[in-house]
Amino acid sequence: MSLVDNITITRDETYKGPAYIAIGALTSFPGALESVIDMDTYALQSGITALCPTTEDGVTINRSVSTSDGIPIDQKNYNMDAGEPESWTMQVGFTLLNTDVDTIKYPWATPEPVTVTGSSVTQKKLPLGAPETFTERELYVIQEDPKTGRMRVFAFRKSIPAPDGDLNIQKTEASGLPVTFNIRPDTTLAEHHGPYGFIFEEDAS
């Protein structure tokens, strides 16, 4: 089975889109591609939950650094852009293709959807509140090279949804859910252990 131009999470369900988004709560952070997704069946491993594909706009991964304004040398300040950074920040942004309540609950940090009882219509309701905390989760951006079929996964150790967000409801087009996740480092890890996470990329056979 090939994944060309799509991400297949099960053998009978295919989703179009540049990338597929998943979240996790694994006790041990993945150390390889197959720790995230089965490379034969394309099923996500236990402990990783599929959200949905992104829209055709894709995924933006932002890395930025703060440096000092400068140091005094002979009564003048000189910028030290080539010097040591003071702090790094990372964000991952995308628009989710699905806007059902089971997807919205994660970026909006809501309680679980509730099945409505006593109604003539089968339905769920999603409580909309004002959460005081956000749950920290692993974040996975699953991607396939449309030409070679090789897989790539951006795996982030710690992510929380940005507090601000929009839900784009259209009349003639599919709705989209723009989402930004702030990525946090595991400050107990050395650089070569990937405090923010890893990029796993399948090599040519």
Q: Is the pTM of this model over 0.85?
A: no
- Name all domains of the chain by residue range, CATH numbers in brackets: 7-201 (2.30.110)
Query: Range with the lowest mean pLDDT among 10-14, 140-144, 155-159?
Result: 10-14
- Has residue 116 got a pLDDT over 90? yes
The reported pLDDT for the residue numbered 17 is 60
Q: Is 150 within 8 Å of 201 (Cβ atoms)? A: yes
Query: Residue 75: left (phi > 0), alpha (psi -120 to 50), or beta?
Result: left
Q: What is the pLDDT of residues 61-110, one digit of tens each?
A: 998 877 665 555 555 555 555 556 667 889 999 998 888 899 999 999 99
Closest residue by Cα to residue 6 from 98, 148, 151, 18: 18
Alpha-carbon span 67 to 84, nearest angstrom: 7
Q: What is the mean pLDDT of the chain?
A: 82
